[in-house]
Amino acid sequence: MKRTRKSLLLALGWVLLSLATTLLVILMQLITTVTAQQTPGSIIVESTSTPPQGSADEGESQHSQSSRLSPEEIARQQTLIKADQLFLTGKISEAEKLYREVKEPFTAKLTNQEPKAAILDPEQLSPAGKVYWRESTAGIAHNLQTRTLVPLQLLVEQYPEFIPSHIRFAEILKQYNRGKEALDILERAVALYPNESTLIQAKVTALAEAQKWMEASLIARQFALLNPNHPQASEFQNLADKNLNQFKSHIRSEIRGNAIANIITGALGYAVTGNLFGPFSAIDSTIMLLKGEKIIGESVAAQAKKQLDLIKDETVTAYVNEIGQKLVKVAGRNDFEYEFFVIPKEDLNAFALPGGKIFINAGAIAKTNSEAELAGLLGHELSHTVLSHGFQLATQGNLIANVTQYLPFGGTIGQLFALTYSRDMERQADNLGTRLIVAGGYAADGLRNLMVTLEKEQKNFIPLWLSSHPGGSERVSYLENLISRAKYNRYAYEGVERHIAVQARLKQILKEKKEQEQKKSPSQ
């Protein structure tokens, strides 16, 4: 009898704990929502139209850096400085002549590996292709599965340039409850023809039908951003918003329906493990996804600023902000508050948080050769944010798992975002990043030159940035082909003189910081 009474009391205790925790989670949601609405805007450093004129400090910094360069490198640097001065005074043709003198031709030849031009009309198919298309049409008319699917399989394999075959194949597969195969077909087709709106539309529809609304939203938004002049760009933007709202609605219902069950499960887990926080990670993750990438970025950035000893020197921060905000203006996404931060670390690294928070190491300034190269790095990271790549990883479980694992227990923020982007994500960021620096007025090969710089460093060790942004020499070739095909201008502003001055200032800051650390730890 006593044992039964004790069990009942224990059960009653767990129920009370569950109810109390449910109220706590709901209250936290309400508080977070109010806090998010009251979050003040970011402080944005106003950018100047042209870099400031050289000073005595700049001359001294040039001398300091020149001592580490060969005579040929010094001569090249001085030519670029002179070309920049001509460029800024409007003497574009004279500047271009000097840029051409010191810039070597690209090593990569234009590849012929591009897929054939897309076709939409079956009359443009070969005789065999036309037979396959007619057979699939007849198979559909007579409701014959094999007669429909076999010719469509042959079409997508032998004539991938015929866009309607991919769309029809995916539709028929869905009719036979083979939705995953349908998505795979569309995935491969989009990889070959990423700018074909009919394929993107079909993929977005298939994802939405599979209740993958967030993925559908991201893909639609990416198409709109990467193809701003496409006549359907605004339509895809609306499609992105529609699927995002559907995703949020679904998540809200999931939270309402599952919160109590999850918390009761968590209470039972607490009885076994003694850890009350672990079981709530799924709920926390879901709530974070519901808040959206802007709030996630702000939340994690706030934690990062607490953990990281950021550089606050106005010369350095204004320089990075000016470049970053110049690129933001042409990025085409205004729903974020963009901020740029510098970490006092000497290795070349950078990472982007969802919602427009970009962190770069001091080494990114110290080891790049010009403002255009640094703009290439910032443009690439900014593109990851604009294209929601970090948030896309979050929806797949990668980012949020890291957030809940590290943040409550004081993990290192650098570990948190050592994420490896997919090949497609890297190419999208290279593409948009290059377009951003061109639109920002910089030489088109800024990102390409950064990759060359990183390749040279890679001979001794793999730079941190490359570990999460793979590609190597293949990416240099890809960027060279991208610039050549799009006819982007390589012979524009490099920004060498001011970059050298900021490098000198940064070197002094890092030196003083190291001396202060040594004073705090005299034993070292």
Model pLDDT for residues 470-506, shown as the tens digit of each residue: 455 688 888 999 899 888 999 999 999 999 999 999 9
Question: Strand order of the sheet with strand 350-353?
Answer: 339-343, 357-361, 350-353
- How sure is the predictor about 40, in pLDDT bands with cuts at 50, 70 and 90? very low
pTM of the model: 0.67
Stretch 56-82: mean pLDDT: 71
| pLDDT at site 379 | 96
Range scoring the smallest mean pLDDT among 27-36, 68-77, 130-139, 368-377: 27-36
Measured at the CA of 241, the angle between CA 331 and CA 25, to 5 degrees, comes to 105
**Fold (topology level) of 122-245:** 1.25.40
Tell me, what's the pLDDT at 125? 96
The model's pLDDT over 151-187, given as tens digits with 9 standing for 90+, comes to: 999 999 999 999 999 999 999 999 999 998 999 899 8
Q: Percent of the chain at pLDDT above 90? A: 43
> What pLDDT was estimated at residue 52?
36
The predicted structure's pLDDT at residue 433: 92
Give the pLDDT score at 445.
Answer: 96
Pick from 215-224, 339-348, 419-428 the range whose average pLDDT is largest. Answer: 339-348
- What is the Cα–Cα distance from 126 to 131, expressed in whole angstroms? 9
β-strand 350-353 against 339-343: which pairing, if any? unpaired
Mean pLDDT over residues 120-143, rounded? 96
CA-CA distances (angstroms) from residue 107 to 78, 110, 437, 476, 478?
A: 24, 10, 21, 9, 11
pLDDT at 390: 79
Contact 354, 385 (CB under 8 A): yes
Provide φ and ψ at 153, rounded to 5°.
-60, -45
User: Which of 4-13, 189-198, 298-307, 469-478 is predicted with the least confidence, judged by mean pLDDT?
Assistant: 4-13
pLDDT value for 298: 83
Residue 389's pLDDT band (boundaries 50, 70, 90)? confident
**Residue 408 confidence (pLDDT) above 50:** no
Q: What average pLDDT does the segment 324-344 reach?
A: 90
Highest mean pLDDT among 24-28, 368-372, 482-486: 368-372
The whole-chain average pLDDT of the chain stands at 77
DSSP 119: B
Q: Where are the domains of the chain?
A: 122-245, 293-518
**For range 422-451, the mean pLDDT:** 91
pLDDT in tens, 45-54: 233 333 433 4
Select, from the ranges 52-56, 140-144, 216-220, 281-285, the one with the highest average predicted confidence (pLDDT): 140-144
Residues 6+ apart with CB under 8 A from 315: 502, 505
Confidence (pLDDT) at 165: 96
268 pLDDT exceeds 70? no
- Percent pLDDT > 70 in the chain is 69
